Amino acid sequence: MGAKIEAIAYYYPKNTLTNQDLKELYPGYDFQRFEEKVGIKTRYIADEYETALDLAYQASLSLFERIDKDRIDFILYCTQSPEYIIPSTACLLQKRLDFGSHVGAFDFNLGCSGFVYGISMAKAFINSGQAKNVLLVTTDTYSKYVHPHDRSSRSIFGDGAAATLVTSSEVEQIFTFKFGTDGEGHDKLIIRNGATRHKYDQNAEEHHYGRGNVYTDNNLYMNGPEVFRFTSSVIPPFVEKVLAENNMRKKDIDQYVFHQANAYMLNQMRRTLGIDASKFYIDLANGGNTVSSTIPIALKNYSDNCMHKQQETVLICGFGVGLSWAGGVITLDKGI
């Protein structure tokens, strides 16, 4: 028994944050240059009382406009924006979607590598005969973690969710995956307060970094230069290993779809790998960095708008918070 990605749907909140909006908030910063370099024009921001679960629910409903929801027998729910510490948000989604009690469901806490990990897990459940139709949901609302005066993070991150149906297939369309972890770099992207190690601090001290950015230990902190150094040094040789593991060469891949972190970083890795721009999909302008959902959103947009063949061989690679990374090869159908 094989597995394949049958369908993807995604959902953005209704509120937008454009570069013009940010320019009015931070008049001393050149957002035209930012747009040209990083590639982001618009982000979508959840309402105050709108959660990642709400976005996940809407993405799932969009998916069910095209597929029969009663087919689902397992939910994989990837988020770093849980509804509660306890219980698992996957259980709440099962209830909200009115699935039967036979449906398995659990959360896993990963960021930018989460979709790739999730595809591999869904494949494992299907190949082992434990499930036939897995709903993989990726959803995050990082905007709720960003300090209002952290221009750097507000410029990059947006909120969103994607719902992906991974189903059994007579022909295998999800191939070999590889993974990597470096917990030594856990503090490069971190929210220090609010869990069991450090409680939320109502009087947390403000820290300044970069060019006028502000955060507290209650907020998301990203060490941009260190994250860039990590991706530049680790990901290109890792992609070479993913290719080797699948007995493929670069020319065998029709399209490369990486985590959409920022265009400058992506193009640096593309040049290091020697991949032509026409085979390296960048999809940042509308939505920005939606963490675990950037790859499924990009796959959906590429499949709907850019594919020349009915099927293409695509290498997907996610990397970021953890530090964590993952990559693999899939066969992508047109119009998923």
Task: Write out the catalytic residue numbers.
Answer: 112, 259, 289
Query: What are residue 40's phi and psi, to 5 degrees?
Result: -100, 130
Three-state secondary structure call for residue 168: strand
CA dist list (Å): 284 to 65, 133, 249, 266: 26, 29, 27, 11
Which residue in this structure is represented by tokens 């994250």?
Answer: 227
The one-character DSSP state at 333 is E
Q: How many CB atoms neighbour CB 68 within 10 A?
A: 8
Contact at 8 Å (CB) between 109 and 322?
no
| Residues ≥6 apart with Cβ < 8 Å to 93 | 53, 56, 57, 60, 75, 77, 105, 137
CA dist list (Å): 122 to 5, 105, 111, 114, 167: 10, 12, 17, 12, 8
Rounded Cα–Cα distance for residues 33 and 45 (Å): 22
| Of 214, 222, 215, 216, nearest in space to 190 by CA | 222
In 65-203, where do the E strands start and end? 74-78, 104-108, 133-140, 160-169, 174-181, 189-190
Rounded Cα–Cα distance for residues 64 and 76 (Å): 16
CA dist list (Å): 114 to 36, 95, 108, 238: 28, 23, 8, 17
Rounded Cα–Cα distance for residues 298 and 280 (Å): 11
